[in-house]
A and B are shown apart, each in its own frame.
Chain A
Amino acid sequence: MRLMVFASRTQKELIRDPLNMAFGLGFPLVVLFLLSAIQANIPVSLFEISQLTPGIAVFGLSFISLFSGTLIAKDRSTSYLLRLFASPLTSTDFILGYTLPLLPMALLQTVICFIAAFFLGLAFSLNLLLALVVMIPAAILYIAIGLLAGSLLTDKQVGGICGALLTNLSAWLSGTWFDLNLVGGGFKAVAYALPFVHAVDAAKAAVAGNYADILPHLWWVMGYAVVIMVLAILAFKKKMNSD
């Protein structure tokens, strides 16, 4: 009951912030339309809609980290979290209350990205539903990054780390904007040591129906999601006892 009350507050705070809507939904769609327009004029296989959509969907999820991190950091910077820490809410209530409302938001964001892609020529198939499922670990990963950042940083720092650095890392190191083979070497090795390109490759494999290629990439994403979520929970609990 308490958890649901608190989760409902998180959801309202996120939905009612117009910047969240503008960046979370608007920006990825603009990029999708822009790269599709480039593809229409100068055909590049990387920007074919079935290749492009999973990458844009993962890129869009990076804004989820920004939203959640900013909300938590703002709560910490005011006395609001102090008031809640003195209430009967437990650490589990806080962590789930901050994270659970983000999961449907992340999935909705992905669905809207796919719907926009239909208008740009993406063919509907059941594989798209599989792709949605495959995106869940990536959504949890980005939610965990937001929880971690919000627990450790100020809201301005969250803006810099999640709003600028993470979104750019998600773009450059995911193989969405350019083929990582074009750079190769250390850059490609670093990209494949991080979860972003794996999240995109898993979703691409799902969209293409290459089922055997999904799990090898998904393990990377799930591994990072679990580790970062554990770190985020530890950081939040530590802050809860020290703020």
Chain B
Amino acid sequence: MTAIQTINLTKRFKDKTAVNALNLSIEEGELYALLGVNGAGKTTTIKMLSCLTAPSSGDAILLGDSVVTNPQSVKEKINVSPQETAVARNLTVRENLELIAGIYSFDKKAARTKADEMITAFSLGEVVSAKANTLSGGMQRRLSIAMALISNPKILFLDEPTLGLDVIARRELWSTINKLKGKITIILTTHYMEEAQALSDRIGIMARGELKAVGTADELMAKTGAKTFEDAFIALAADSEVGI
């Protein structure tokens, strides 16, 4: 079943078109990486899909609901891990988790149970009673992603989830994301080519607000004749950026 279908999804800001007639289709349980250089339109696409900004034209259907006509239903099914760490500073780790669970309509008992699950899954047990503003950057990032998962989202948006993490924390997070594959639909944006290659089922490459290519890492390498995925990305994204 299709989890996300965009139909000529477009976003214009005054005289600039950030996303131009985007048509993409993502299957349920798929991990889809959206790649592109800065300003390619990835974040604007994510913002439209997560109902944070309304499209100028076109539409996106997420599990049967339109982001234009029924954003509230879409919001019930999705969750977002923003690019920057997004935690409540003066709340403890457990309070942060239970807060998000409560916002997604879990009752107190269920919220506590879900928080326990996330604390275990993300190894947050040692800092469970610590305020978020006292945690290290890596721990805050872990908490931030746990907060995105606590609502059992059917679609999860991970915007550069490993940005700023050390190599061990990054690998741990990769392992966590890998465990989610097939269970929920994940849209991942990242600037790390090896991350996209290691984690995603398919990769979409955006440039100048348009989807330039879609396929597995191997398919994109074959398409461009590149030896590495990074070369394939450069061939597809950078060429478009300079208008070749």
Chain A contacts to B: CB under 8 angstroms: 1-2, 5-6, 8-9, 12-13, 16-17, 74, 78-80, 82-90, 241-243
Contact = CB atoms under 8 A, between A and B. Distances in A.
B95 A83 contact: no
Contact of A87 (B89, B100, B157): B100
Interface in B52-79: 52-54, 72, 75-76, 78-79
A86 to B, nearest CB: 4
11 contacts: A5-B103, A6-B103, A13-B91, A16-B90, A78-B85, A83-B82, A83-B148, A86-B75, A86-B79, A88-B104, A90-B72
Contacts of B21: none
A16 B54 CA distance: 36
7 interchain residue pairs of minimum CB distance = A5-B102, A79-B82, A79-B86, A79-B84, A16-B90, A83-B86, A86-B80
Contact of B50 (A2, A16, A86): A86
Residue from the set A2, A16, A86, A242 with the largest chain B CB neighbour count within 10 Å: A86
B86 A80 contact: yes
Given A1-B105, A82-B52, A9 B99 contact: yes
A84 B78 contact: no
Nearest to A14: B90
Contacts, number: 75
B91 A9 contact: yes
Interface string B76-117: 101111111111111100010001101111000000000000
B147 interface: yes
Interface residues of B, number: 34
Nearest to B89: A13
Contacts of B52: 82, 85-86, 243
A82 B95 CA distance: 19
Nearest to A13: B90
B80 A5 contact: no
Given A9-B95, A78-B86, A79-B86, 4 more contacts: A13-B88, A13-B91, A17-B90, A84-B103
B83 A80 contact: no
A82 B82 contact: yes
Nearest to A97: B103
B51 interface: yes
B86 A82 contact: yes
Contacts of B99: 5-6, 8-9
Contacts of B75: 86-88
Contacts of A83: 80-82, 86, 147-148
A154 B157 CA distance: 27
Residue from the set A6, A83, A243 with the largest chain B CB neighbour count within 10 Å: A83
Contacts of A17: 90
B229 to A, nearest CB: 28
A16 B89 CA distance: 10
A79 B143 CA distance: 14
Contacts of B100: 87
A17 to B, nearest CB: 6
A86 B167 CA distance: 29
Interface in B192-224: none
B3 to A, nearest CB: 16
Nearest to B88: A9
B91 A80 contact: no
Nearest to B90: A16
B76 A79 contact: no
A12 B88 CA distance: 10
B95 A80 contact: no
B86 A12 contact: no
Given A9-B88, A12-B91, A13-B91, A89 B80 contact: no
Contacts of B81: 83
B68 to A, nearest CB: 13
A12 B72 CA distance: 27
Contacts of B147: 83
